[in-house]
């Protein structure tokens, strides 16, 4: 099942550092062996609730294990400091849901679990 790596990056003020540009130039090659691809990369976000300072990056991979393996790979670890020296941020891995996902069924299961815990 498709899984996602989501980064909320907050670059430093000022011009983009050459190391960041090198990171961007090289990251795709590190993702390709694991089936990774960009879905969103630094697009302007429209904030409809709360605050969102910075940029969003959304990557898709075939599964969670592929993301973990990519992130730990020597090729990615080699370039990672090029970004982290210049951007603060948060990065998370999250599994997607399949086409059979049913939100009302999820709510019902959560309700049952909550009520059991309260009893």
What's residue 4's pLDDT? Answer: 98
pLDDT in tens, the chain (119 residues): 999 999 999 988 889 999 999 999 999 999 999 999 999 998 889 999 999 999 999 999 999 999 999 999 999 999 999 999 999 999 999 999 999 999 999 999 999 999 999 98
Q: Which long-range contacts (CB under 8 A, 24 or more apart) does 21-28 make?
A: 22/79, 22/82, 23/79, 23/80, 23/82, 23/83, 26/79, 26/82, 27/76, 27/79
Question: Could you give the maximum distance between any two Cα atoms of the chain, in Å?
Answer: 59
Sheet holding 3-11, edge to edge: 37-43, 55-61, 3-11, 87-95
What's residue 90's pLDDT? Answer: 96
Residues 6+ apart with CB under 8 A from 19: 82, 83, 85, 86
Instruction: Please name which of 68, 79, 94 lies closest in space to residue 30, comparing C-alpha atoms.
Output: 79
Question: 105 near 43, Cβ under 8 Å?
Answer: no
């Amino acid at each position: 099942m498709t899984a996602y790596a989501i980064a909320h990056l907050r670059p430093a003020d000022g011009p983009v550092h050459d190391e960041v540009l090198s990171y961007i130039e090289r990251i795709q090659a590190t993702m390709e062996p694991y089936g990774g691809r960009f879905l969103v990369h630094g697009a302007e976000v429209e904030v409809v609730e709360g605050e969102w300072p910075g940029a969003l990056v959304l990557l898709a991979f075939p599964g969670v294990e592929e993301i973990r393996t990519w992130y730990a790979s020597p090729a990615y670890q080699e370039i990672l400091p090029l970004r982290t020296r210049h951007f603060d941020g948060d990065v998370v891995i999250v599994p997607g849901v399949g086409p059979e996902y049913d939100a009302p069924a999820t709510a019902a299961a959560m309700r049952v679990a909550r009520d059991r815990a309260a009893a």
